[in-house]
Structure 1
Amino acid sequence: MLVVEDEPAIATAIAHRLTAEGWQVDVAGDGPSGVRAATTLEPDLVVLDVMLPGMDGLEVCRRIQAERPVPVLMLTARDDETDMLVGLGVGADDYMTKPFSMRELVARSKALLRRVERAAQLSDAAPPSIASGDVVIDRAQRRVSRGGEPVHLTPTEFDLLVTLASSPRTVLTRERLLAEVWDWVDASGTRTVDSHVKALRRKLGADLIRTVHGVGYAFEPAEA
């Protein structure tokens, strides 16, 4: 596991807590060293601060994902939805706003790693693809295309899309999506669901996912 954080006190606290959970943790203190560490160490998870010297966390995330896809938990000091959407757009799988509790950080990290394990099992089972009009979701290879053009999704975006598309026209509550996609058992992260849905709409088009205000979302089969 790799922690990329330029504030020594925060980096040390995160590293100590994750180490106490049984993970091997390495720390990088700026953007360029974070990219190098991710390339060299090939961590299972990256905890990445947005504001970094030398290269900001968004560019770090973009370069890491281009080299080797890996779950990224992004840390941001601003509770700004635009920043969060940009982070998701460059490949982050989840985000937390400072200040945050170490307990939640551990829970989010475990959830991300569980999703990686489920993805590996899914690939081994090689289930069929989901085809909806001009949208093809290849669950075995974890690839998505629309109109024959590939669409790059983060692991979390892919899992969210599969969950919605597996029950077309069925309204799934935010709480259910949190449980099935994020492995969260409470409703504290409903805004996370909303942000990921916005990211999916931006990449695949706004017509695929219908909002049911006050409830959740439904996948609407695409027209050919």
Structure 2
Amino acid sequence: MNGSSPLIYVVEDEEDLGKLICASLSDYRYQVQYCATGKALFAALENQSPEICIVDLNLPDIDGMQLVKELEHRAIGVIIVSGRGGLTDRVLGLEFGADDYITKPFEPRELVARVQSLHRRLEKQKKQLEQAPKQALFANWSFQPESLSLSREGQSESLSRAEGDMLLALLKHPFQILSRDQLLGENCVPYDRSIDVRMSRLRKKIESDPQHPELIKTVYGAGYMLTTDVKWR
């Protein structure tokens, strides 16, 4: 395997399915490591951080949602693979920072396509961060895209990568309406409310009153707009 190809950890307690996922990804030149438990994943993370983790929710030693939340601020892409296909689980997965959610049963090629899409987006984001100014100043907030951190006097917030992507897009286009597709880019979870869930999380971190947002306005039928000046440095 080419050492420069992306590394993916597959966290799945069903060994046969885990090995099938690994084999499918290996066929597309990904480096893959299988973990049967959350404990095995954390041990692997001590040695090397992957680009993407594929996480089953029903693990024997830790709740999968809690595991996703633990990964949220590690700059790792997360795809949930689960038999839980209900609305509540999908919303919760997104709220905890997952980038995508795929329900069982699924075709291995579909999962590979989701991985490829997320990988492209992560690579694009890395290039954008390399070219972007180091800090954005808006409404008394300071946002550092590279570390996905927000701060102002007496307060600091850490964003998930999905939240940071949306905020960065808004900061680059203040007073312009951005559609849902423009905000999500390739980060498109096949779930109609994914953008609403992530926008709600972002507003809770930056708005004085998230129920009546002033910084990020909803333009019904069109998208969202940042309504404040932005300075980059």
Percent identity, aligned pairs only? Answer: 32
The alpha-carbon distance between structure 1 residues 92 and 188, as it changes in their structure 2 partners (threshold 3 A), is: closer
Equivalent residues in 2 for 1:1-224 (5 A)?
Answer: 1-65=8-72, 68-178=74-184, 180=185, 182=187, 188-205=190-207, 206=210, 207=213, 208-221=215-228
- 2:3 paired residue number: none
Query: Deviation string for 1:53-87 (max 9, x for gaps)?
Result: 11111232344456x43221122333444434443
The alpha-carbon distance between structure 1 residues 75 and 220, as it changes in their structure 2 partners (threshold 3 A), is: farther
Measured after TM superposition, the shift of residue 163 of structure 1 is: 0.8
Indicate the RMSD between aligned Cα atoms, in angstroms. Answer: 2.8
Give the AA of the match of 1:44.
E
What is the rounded CA distance, in whole Å, between the counterparts of 2:21 and 2:146 in structure 1? 34
Greater fraction helix: 1
Q: Structure 2 length normalisation: TM-score?
A: 0.78
Q: Contact 2:57–2:64 at 8 Å: present in 1 too?
A: yes
The alpha-carbon distance between structure 1 residues 19 and 52, as it changes in their structure 2 partners (threshold 3 A), is: same
> If you compute each CA radius of gyration, which structure gives the higher value, 1 or 2?
2
Structure 1: segments with no counterpart, 5+ residues? none
The alpha-carbon distance between structure 1 residues 151 and 84, as it changes in their structure 2 partners (threshold 3 A), is: farther
Give the AA of the match of 2:13.
D
Measured after TM superposition, the shift of residue 149 of structure 1 is: 2.0
Give the AA of the match of 1:59.
Q
The alpha-carbon distance between structure 1 residues 54 and 203, as it changes in their structure 2 partners (threshold 3 A), is: same
What is the rounded CA distance, in whole Å, between the counterparts of 2:140 and 2:69 in structure 1? 28
What is the rounded CA distance, in whole Å, between the counterparts of 2:86 and 2:201 in structure 1? 15
Give the AA of the match of 2:32.
V
